[in-house]
Amino acid sequence: MTYIAHILVMASIFSTIAVSLNLTAGHSGLISVCQAAFFAVGAYSTAILTTAHGWPWEASVCAGACVAIAVSLCVGRVALRLGQQTFVLATFALQMIMFHVLQNWSDVTGGALGIPGVPMASAVGLQASPGLPALLLAGSAAVFAVLCVSHITRTPYGRVLRGIREDEPLMQSACKNTLRFKLNVFVLSAVFASISGSIYASYAGYVDPSSFTIHDSIFMLAIVIIGGTGSTRGAVLGAVVLVGFPEALRFVGMSSSVAANVRQLLYGVLLVGCMLWRPQGLLGKYPMCE
């Protein structure tokens, strides 16, 4: 039971990220590979503020979100002016910088050893202990993300995002300040990734740089692409499949060291398979590349 709850918690955390990342990568066509960096911002904010400074969990979530807003605004304002391919490179750079900051700023981040003993999330006297309570917390974050994103996509705002995805110059001719739209969704997805990071840190009780590498960013993007670009249900499905499937390998008798490698292989196969036979992903609306 706790095992299943654990998988569902992880699936919820990644759903939250994927659903919000879908707003940038799926609806607006902005491929970013720095989501793990924003995930790290939330996770480390919570870890540092709750352990070293004794902040309450909720306050650390807000602080993490504020840092994520500041970082994404600074990076987005510059990177979003670039072309699509250059934007990918800029987000890649942010991801690498973030990883090396975590790895080398030992006084604050604990370096490669990370920060142990992050307390459980607690709010209004309730503790999100592993199992059902943690699932409730992570699940409600995912539901909140789903509601927010589906609301946005139904409004005129979402319509403009789809327009930008297909033809940005045309949207500029139609009086849309496309930079503002792209910046807004970039920041919003950074905030959601940061909140997920805070939940993750308090759930795992321990953070170290190895959970926030470029592979994790690509994993988050893979969830969106395989689940289906532009589809909120697809993002949730992608998270459940990509988090759950490697777990299934345990039951076919694969040792965890082999399973880790098979997992990498699996992403590759799934991504190539998607490109070949289902470029729009499982439940997606638009092919990733045209």
Partner 1 sequence: MDRLLLKVENVHKAFDGVKALNDVSVDIRHREVVGMIGPNGAGKTTLFNVLTGFLAADQGTATLRGQNILRKPPHVIAETGIARTFQRLRLIRHLTVLDNILLWRRGQPGERMVNVFFRWRASAKKEAENRGAARSLLADVGLSEKTNDPADNLSYGQQKLLSLACCLASGAELLLLDEPVAGIAPEMIEHILSIIEGLPARGRSVMLIEHNLDAVARVCSRVVFMDSGAKVCEGTPQEVRNDPRVIEAYID
Identity of the residue, 193 or 207, whose beta carbon is nearer to partner 1 in the bound complex: 193
Least distance CB 162 / partner 1 (angstroms): 6
How far, in Å, CA of 282 to CA of 161, rounded?
21
Per CB under 8 A, does 166 bind partner 1? yes
177 lines the binding site for partner 1 (CB under 8 A): yes
- Interface with partner 1 (CB under 8 A), residue from 23, 25, 152, 237: 152
The span from the CA of 122 to the CA of 89, in Å, is 38
Nearest approach, Cβ of residue 187 and partner 1 (Å): 9
CB of 136 to partner 1, least distance (A): 24
Residue selected from 124, 175, 276, 289 as contacting partner 1 according to rule CB under 8 A: 175
Among 55, 92, 144, 157, binds partner 1 (CB under 8 A): 157
User: What tokens does 171 get?
Assistant: 């949207």
Task: Identify which of residues 175 and 252 has a Cβ nearer to partner 1 in the complex.
Answer: 175
Among 215, 233, 263, 285, binds partner 1 (CB under 8 A): 285
4 binds partner 1 (CB under 8 A): no
Of residues 107 and 290, the one with the C-beta less far from partner 1: 290
Binding piece for partner 1, criterion CB under 8 A, among 19-27, 33-41, 46-54, 154-162 = 154-162
Q: Which of 156, 251, 256, 265 binds partner 1 (CB under 8 A)?
A: 156
Q: Rule CB under 8 A: is residue 83 a binding residue for partner 1?
A: no
Q: Which stretch binds partner 1 (CB under 8 A): 46-54, 87-95, 108-116, 156-164?
A: 156-164
- Does 82 interact with partner 1 (rule: CB under 8 A)? no
Which stretch in 53-61, 90-98, 157-165, 247-255 sits in contact with partner 1 by CB under 8 A?
157-165
Query: What residues have CB less than 8 Å from 191, skipping those under 6 apart?
Result: 20, 38, 65, 68, 69, 72
172 lies in the binding site for partner 1 (CB under 8 A) = yes
Would you say 56 and 182 are in contact if contact means Cβ atoms under 8 Å apart? no
Q: Measure the CA–CA gap between 178 and 30, rounded to whole angstroms.
A: 12
Question: Is-contact 214 36, C-beta < 8 A?
Answer: yes
| 278 near partner 1, rule: CB under 8 A | no
Q: 157-170 burial, b if ≥16 CB within 10 A, otherwise e? A: ebebbbbbbeebee
Binding region for partner 1 (CB under 8 A): 148, 151-152, 155-157, 159-160, 162-163, 166-167, 169-178, 184, 188, 285-286
